[in-house]
Amino acid sequence: MRAARIHEYGGPDVIGVEDLPQPVPGPGEVLIRVAATSFNPTETALRSGVLATMLPIVLPVTLGWDVAGTVDGEPVLGMLEAGAAAEFAVAPATTLVRAPATVPLADAAALPLAGMTAWQAVTGHARIAPGERVLVNGAGGGIGGFAVQLAKHAGAYVLATASSRSAAIVRSLGADEVLDYTAGPPAVGEPVDAVLNCAAIEPAAAAALVPLVRPGGRIVTVATPIESSASVTARHMVTRNDPADLAMLVRLVDAGVLRLVITARRTLEDLPELHRLAESGGTHGKIIVTPAR
């Protein structure tokens, strides 16, 4: 089978597509015929070695966290520790859920990591409530797009920062106001109840978000850590791989509440280029990567 792998940490050129034996499931595992994975910008940190002290990674490793595919012909979806950027992958059966019925199977690969991150930020860490004013910073990214939709579904008034190329999409996802992040600190008008930071930003930009929040409000960041102030609580969250959360997101997709916005479709051979683009800020939204040539 074909798989995108790294044998050492380094730049994008350490990624290679290799022919490997088909993996064999162990006890409690199943074999997935992969329809697609999706590219997450944080995978550049895995490839470069930044995550080596935080994740139990043994080199060589096949890339890819999100997986959509079939097990014995049944469509499934899940998040792996690694290995989804291949024609076949193995996973514990308990970590997989049935894929959405209303979208192409390959497109469903956009959902696991980004969707669960946004879900846990909105409903768990930030606990967004109806009528609150919420700023989603970095709404043009994969996590940010889901955060906009989920905050709106929770009944919030959603302000969102995005570039000009993403503004129309972000507005179509339900943002009540779209603010150009290139114009300096977001002009939110009256203070917001919560900020969901979904972007890797410079420390000065992170600090500039704190004064936008009302006293007693909160910030949840999935990327750059942000320090609390005397009146604002800030929390840096780490995504939990929770099949129950993923199953809820699948139901929201099938109910038409949550849209999957795919900005590009690429193959395993394109991964080095995607890593280079991500490191220069050149990717946005969710990019599907298929094992087919």
Residue of 90, 40, 116, 32 whose CA lies nearest to 278: 40
Provide the pLDDT for residue 57: 85
Closest Cα partner for 36 from 73, 1, 72, 70? 70
Global pTM value: 0.96
Judged against a pLDDT cut of 90, whether residue 292 lies above it is answered with no
Q: Are residues 105 and 120 in the same domain?
A: no
> What would the mean pLDDT of 34-54 be, rounded to a whole number?
92
Residue 246 falls within a domain, yes or no? no
In the structure, what pLDDT confidence band is assigned to residue 284 with cuts at 50, 70 and 90? Answer: confident
Answer yes or no: do 89 and 122 share one domain: no
Beta strands 233-236 and 262-267: pairing type?
A: unpaired
Tell me, what CATH number does 22's domain have? 3.90.180.10
Pair (50, 85) in one structural domain: yes
Q: Which residues contact 93 (CB under 8 A, 6 or more apart)?
A: 28, 29, 30, 71
In a domain, 150, yes or no: yes
Same domain, yes or no, for 84 and 98? yes
Residue pair 188/214 in contact (Cβ under 8 Å)? The answer is no
- Pair of tokens at residue 94: 């308990």
Q: How confident is the model at residue 187 (pLDDT cuts 50, 70, 90)?
A: confident
Judgement on whether residues 195 and 214 belong to the same structural domain of the protein: yes
Q: How far apart are CA 185 and CA 150, in angstroms?
A: 23
Helix (H, G, I), strand (E, B) or coil at 245: helix
Mean pLDDT of the chain: 95
Same domain, 100 and 132: no
One-letter amino acid of 175? A
| Number of domains comprising the chain | 2
State which residues form the domain around 127.
115-236
Q: Examine residue 16 and state whether it is found in any structural domain, yes or no.
A: yes
Residue 148 sits in a domain whose CATH number is 3.40.50.720
- pLDDT beyond 90 at 164: no
pLDDT over 70, % of the chain: 99
Give the number of C-alpha atoms closer than 13 A to the C-alpha of residue 193, restricted to the C-beta side.
15
Residue 52 lies in a domain: yes
Residue 173 falls inside a structural domain: yes
Tell me, yes or no, whether 228 and 140 share the same domain. Answer: yes
Structure tokens given for 13: 């050129």
**71 shares its domain with 131:** no
Give tens-digit pLDDT for 102-149: 999 999 999 999 999 999 999 999 999 999 999 999 999 999 999 999
**Per-residue pLDDT tens over the stretch 189-227:** 999 999 999 998 899 999 999 999 999 999 999 988 999
Would 77 be classed as within a structural domain?
Answer: yes
241: in domain: no
Give, as one character, the DSSP assignment of residue 173: T
Tell whether 125 and 106 lie within a shared domain. Answer: no
Is the same domain home to 103 and 126? no
152 inside domain? yes
